[in-house]
């Protein structure tokens, strides 16, 4: 995941053409200005000089989707698309803050050169800035075309498949420990559409769309069935997988989630969160959510983790955040599904989870035939990050008990 923050840029009349639209050439300036401002706010505008390399543009293309007008405030992100030995390919999205519309998308290829203009290998520090090295080798982030969008995913190992679905407004980094340690399984950790390094469509955010994307990802990976693990919103996606692609679900790990749909109060809270994101940006949403996402113990003993989650949420694309909130607001009630779940199921909940407390997890467990439940001590709503070793251990025990039924 890129370590660079999204940047807000205001459009001024002098940048626009006779029709009041942001000029085509000015779009390149907007994207470049956002990159350099992100560097200045992150590692520093002298980052490349310190690493003794300079990025030279080889190719720059812009796809225009909707016009920008004077006074528009754009949130511009930057994500790694591909990393070669001497080159970096980046993708940027410009999202209008007022309505979450994606106005333009830029694809840029840079070649790293030294002081004499000769191509040089991309230094590790530069690779890390944009989210690590990307290749098609197992165990590293790869992008998969699944039809309407391209999803980024970390795919590792061999054996029965385990699909790890992150929550809101996070990405696959949530599952870092589980991806690294659950040996003997083919661990598949994607970024959902609109989040992480996956494509950010202007619309099309529903639980059905998330589930269909993941089913097509399994198709691309030639995986007939998988154990589906979902945290929070990822649990809602897991339920939608049951509705739409039941034969693909070999087992369930429902973590810090719930089955019931939003009631009137919860829908009103989603609407308020959407307005907050559109008016004040994604970081305002992160600050609003953070105190409830992390358990009290985590906040007291792991301040570095709190900052990591704040940074992860703050960099989520605005369109993806608004889309996810709309998808959660409109999701169907999964409670009627529970009694008919006939695959092995583990329910996991953090002891200090305020958003989906243990009582909610217990009621869901009791409604699912033969489901088991585990409470993770001293963890809140993000148990895989707050107590990674404990979560990986209970998942490993559950997966081992059902290994033969997945093959």
Shared domain for 302 and 371, answered yes or no, is: yes
pLDDT score, position 134:
36
Q: Write down which residue in 90, 123, 156 finishes a domain.
A: 123
* Local confidence pLDDT in tens for the 407 residues of the chain: 455 677 899 999 999 999 999 998 999 999 999 988 887 776 666 777 776 788 899 999 999 999 999 999 999 988 777 777 788 888 888 988 888 888 999 999 999 998 888 888 877 667 666 655 433 333 456 788 888 888 999 988 888 999 999 999 999 989 988 988 888 899 999 999 999 888 888 889 999 999 999 999 999 898 999 999 999 999 999 999 999 999 999 999 999 999 999 999 999 999 999 999 999 999 999 999 999 999 999 998 888 888 889 988 988 999 999 999 999 999 999 999 999 999 999 999 999 999 999 999 999 999 999 899 999 999 999 999 999 889 999 999 999 988 777 76
Shared domain for 158 and 195, answered yes or no, is: yes
- Structural domain of 62: 7-123
Shared domain for 315 and 166, answered yes or no, is: yes
Considering the domain boundaries, does residue 2 fall inside one?
A: no
Neighbouring-strand partners of residue 8:
75
Q: Distance between CA 141 and CA 135 in Å, rounded?
A: 7
Counting Cα atoms < 13 Å in the Cβ hemisphere of 311 gives 14
Residue partners of 239: CB distance under 8 A and separation at least 6: 207, 259, 334, 337
Q: Write down which residue in 91, 123, 155 finishes a domain.
A: 123
Shared domain for 209 and 302, answered yes or no, is: yes
For β-strands 226-231 and 161-165, DSSP reports them as parallel
Considering the domain boundaries, does residue 135 fall inside one?
A: no
Shared domain for 327 and 395, answered yes or no, is: yes
Shared domain for 12 and 159, answered yes or no, is: no
Asked if 34 and 7 count as a contact pair (C-beta separation under 8 A), the reply is yes
Shared domain for 75 and 179, answered yes or no, is: no
Considering the domain boundaries, does residue 85 fall inside one?
A: yes
Q: Distance between CA 123 and CA 52 in Å, rounded?
A: 9
Residue partners of 198: CB distance under 8 A and separation at least 6: 143, 149, 150, 151, 152, 190, 191, 192
Counting Cα atoms < 13 Å in the Cβ hemisphere of 325 gives 25
Asked if 218 and 248 count as a contact pair (C-beta separation under 8 A), the reply is yes
- Look at residues 308, 319, 309 and name the one whose alpha carbon lies nearest to residue 205: 319
- Residue 265: CB atoms within 10 A of its CB come to 7
Considering the domain boundaries, does residue 177 fall inside one?
A: yes
Considering the domain boundaries, does residue 165 fall inside one?
A: yes
Shared domain for 333 and 242, answered yes or no, is: yes
Angle at 382 between CA 378 and CA 388, to 5 degrees: 70
Shared domain for 154 and 64, answered yes or no, is: no
Residue 173 belongs to a domain with what CATH number?
3.40.50.1820
Q: How far is CA 174 from the centre of its chain?
A: 9
Angle at 187 between CA 184 and CA 192, to 5 degrees: 170
Q: Distance between CA 122 and CA 85 in Å, rounded?
A: 6
pLDDT score, position 397:
93
Q: Distance between CA 78 and CA 87 in Å, rounded?
A: 16
Shared domain for 222 and 282, answered yes or no, is: yes
Total domains in the chain come to 2
pLDDT score, position 1:
46
Asked if 71 and 294 count as a contact pair (C-beta separation under 8 A), the reply is no
Shared domain for 224 and 328, answered yes or no, is: yes
Neighbouring-strand partners of residue 74:
9, 96
Q: Write down which residue in 76, 91, 123 finishes a domain.
A: 123
Residue 69 belongs to a domain with what CATH number?
3.10.129.10
Considering the domain boundaries, does residue 184 fall inside one?
A: yes
pLDDT score, position 335:
97
Considering the domain boundaries, does residue 225 fall inside one?
A: yes
pTM for this predicted structure: 0.68
Shared domain for 320 and 356, answered yes or no, is: yes
Considering the domain boundaries, does residue 1 fall inside one?
A: no
Q: Distance between CA 322 and CA 76 in Å, rounded?
A: 15
Q: How far is CA 144 from the centre of its chain?
A: 15
């Amino acid at each position: 995941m890129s370590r660079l923050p999204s940047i807000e840029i205001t459009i001024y009349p002098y940048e626009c053409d006779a029709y009041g639209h942001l000029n085509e050439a000015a779009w390149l300036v907007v994207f470049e200005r956002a990159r350099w401002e992100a560097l200045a706010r992150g590692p520093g505008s002298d980052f490349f000089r310190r690493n003794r390399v300079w990025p030279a543009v080889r190719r720059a293309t812009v796809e225009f989707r909707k016009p920008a007008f004077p006074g528009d405030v754009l949130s511009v992100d930057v994500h790694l698309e591909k990393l070669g030995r001497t080159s970096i390919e980046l993708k940027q999205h410009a999202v209008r803050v007022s309505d979450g519309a994606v106005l333009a998308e830029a694809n840029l290829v840079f070649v790293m050169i030294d002081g004499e203009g000769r191509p040089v290998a991309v230094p590790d520090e530069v690779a890390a800035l944009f989210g690590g090295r990307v290749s098609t080798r197992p165990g590293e982030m790869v992008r998969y075309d699944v039809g309407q969008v391209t999803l980024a995913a970390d795919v590792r190992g061999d054996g029965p498949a385990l699909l790890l679905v992150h929550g809101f407004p996070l990405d696959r980094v949530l599952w870092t420990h589980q991806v690294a340690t659950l040996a003997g399984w083919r661990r598949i950790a994607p970024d959902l559409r609109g989040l992480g390094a996956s494509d950010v469509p202007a619309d099309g955010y529903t639980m059905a769309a998330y589930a269909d994307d993941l089913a097509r990802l399994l198709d691309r990976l030639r995986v007939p069935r998988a154990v589906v693990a979902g945290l929070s919103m990822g649990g809602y996606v897991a339920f939608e997988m049951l509705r739409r692609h039941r034969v693909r679900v070999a087992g369930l790990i429902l973590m810090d989630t719930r089955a019931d749909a939003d009631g009137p109060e919860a829908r009103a809270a989603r609407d308020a969160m959407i307005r907050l994101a559109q008016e004040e940006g994604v970081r305002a949403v992160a600050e609003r959510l953070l105190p409830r996402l992390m358990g009290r113990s985590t906040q007291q003993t792991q301040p570095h983790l709190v900052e990591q989650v704040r940074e992860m949420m703050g960099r989520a694309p605005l369109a993806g955040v608004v889309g996810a909130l709309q998808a959660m607001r409109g999701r169907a009630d999964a409670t009627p599904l529970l009694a008919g779940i006939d695959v092995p199921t583990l329910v996991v909940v953090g002891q200090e989870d305020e958003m989906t407390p243990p009582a909610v997890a217990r009621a869901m467990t009791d409604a699912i035939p033969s489901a088991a439940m585990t409470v993770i001590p001293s963890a809140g709503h993000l148990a895989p990050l707050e107590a990674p070793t404990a979560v990986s251990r209970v998942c490993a025990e559950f997966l081992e008990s059902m290994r033969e039924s997945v093959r």
